[in-house]
Amino acid sequence: MNRSFSGASRLARGALAALASLVLGSCGSGAVSSTSATATSGPITISPATATLFSDLPTVFVVSGGNGSYIVTSSDQQAVPAAGALKGPGSFTVVPNPVAADTAVTLTVSDTAGSPPASAALTVKPRTVSNVVTVTPSASQSAACGTAICSGGDAEVKATLSQAGVPLVGRTVQFDVVSGDVRIITSAPGAPEIDSLSGTTTTDGTGTARIRVRVLADAASQTALLQITDLSSGSTQRTSIAIAPASNAPLNAQPSTIVFQGVDAGTCATGIQADVIVFGGRPPYLISQPGSFSVSPTVVTSNGGRFTVTATGQCTSGSQIAVVDSNGATVSVTASNKLSDLPAPVTTTPFTVSPSSGTLATCNSVANFTLSGGSGTYFGTSQDSRLDVRINGNVGSVQAKSPSIWSGSPGSATTAITFSDGKTSAAVAVDAHALTTNCP
């Protein structure tokens, strides 16, 4: 039978014989369960003989030996309220009250025959993990799941650590999956997701520890259990997580149409991205990879998850990106990549002059040069003022200005003639040496 006891008056040693055949009523926290009242032999034993207890959390002790009629007392009723009778070898449960610091308590078990008592040395520790744990599903999940987490969905789990009302900052807290189709997300935000049965985090300035959990995509309706442990004190708390099947809403992907356009004249878009959100159906979702676009990731694990479409510069009037859920339902997203509507840039060829040299053999000789490319508007100058440079269309002509100015002149020289399109220039060499002897 099970009994609870705490706060009962301490029993005088001289009254034990009179109480041998009685089972005392009791009140308060703590519970006793026992087997039938069968006398046993040997010394009284209590197990465990040493234990660490946490405020508000139950611990079970087993008693045997002696004559089978026991009296259980606590050395500190404020910390461990336990006093009463236990009939027959069996077990009892104590629930410590809240304490501000580690508190030593001795639990003593004696029998009505006056056998040597047995004792258990207890250390009661403050409970640092609040018994209020918050589980908040992602806002993107279907409203049909209510406060439960949809299969394939995720949620934030939040627990607060404090001692004597003071938040415990910077404490390492471990979250463990005790049962159910839920996993701890251990990867950093933005990184590829890694799920595990266990993960740790650190409390913030308010003493709050936060982690995210992922429900398996094929999870049925169930209740999962998480255990939260303050690794510094060993204090623990368990919390339940309700899981609901994913929404029966039809598979959908939005936007269903994406249009990219190049930003440079005559080109299609490169490097521009667009996100597509997938919901409904049953996750996970498989995403196809068309040759004209880059798609990442190719597996979306949760309802309300998304993938990114990136333009690669390839023009296309409409490529289909298929989205397939785990039930085989399919929808598609149409992606197009159009040419820029900016005017095509004006292209020019480099400015050139040919040939690179010429000769004036007589007074009436003309050296012609072909000008091409560049801006199409040409100019010419001479280093020798006795030579005349003229432009006619794309031909540059060089000849003597007046034959008489060459008569009796020194017999030099190759003269540099410069042609230009206004942006770049090119020089040619004109040999006028013969003019000094061939002009009258």
Same fold, 2-125 and 252-340: yes
The CATH class given to the 352-438 domain equals mainly beta
Task: Residues 134-244: name the CATH superfamily.
Answer: Immunoglobulins (2.60.40.10)
Fold exhibited by the domain 252-340: Immunoglobulin-like (2.60.40)
Cα–Cα distance for residue pair 261/266, rounded to 1 Å:
10
Residue 74 corresponds to which amino acid?
S
Instruction: Give the whole-number percent of the chain exceeding pLDDT 90.
Output: 49
From 26-35, 238-247, 274-283, the region with the lowest mean pLDDT = 26-35
Q: What is the pLDDT of residues 140-181, one digit of tens each?
A: 777 777 789 988 889 999 999 998 889 999 999 999 999 999
Domain boundaries defined on the chain: 2-125, 134-244, 252-340, 352-438
Residue 6: which pLDDT band, with cuts at 50, 70 and 90?
very low
Residue 406 corresponds to which amino acid?
W
Query: What pTM value is reported for the model?
Result: 0.46
Domain covering 2-125 in this structure, CATH number: 2.60.40.1080
Q: What is the pLDDT of residues 181-224, one digit of tens each?
A: 999 999 988 888 999 999 999 999 999 999 999 999 888 889 99
User: Once rounded to an integer, what is the mean pLDDT over residues 39-54?
Assistant: 85
From 30-44, 105-119, 212-226, 268-282, the region with the lowest mean pLDDT = 30-44
Q: Are 101 and 126 in contact (CB under 8 A)?
A: yes
Q: Give CA torsion, residues 105, 111, 115, 118, to 10 deg.
A: -20
pLDDT of residue 409: 58
Q: What is the pLDDT of residues 82-110, one digit of tens each?
A: 767 888 788 888 999 988 888 999 999 99
Is the pLDDT assigned to residue 403 strictly greater than 80? no
Residue 411: which pLDDT band, with cuts at 50, 70 and 90?
low
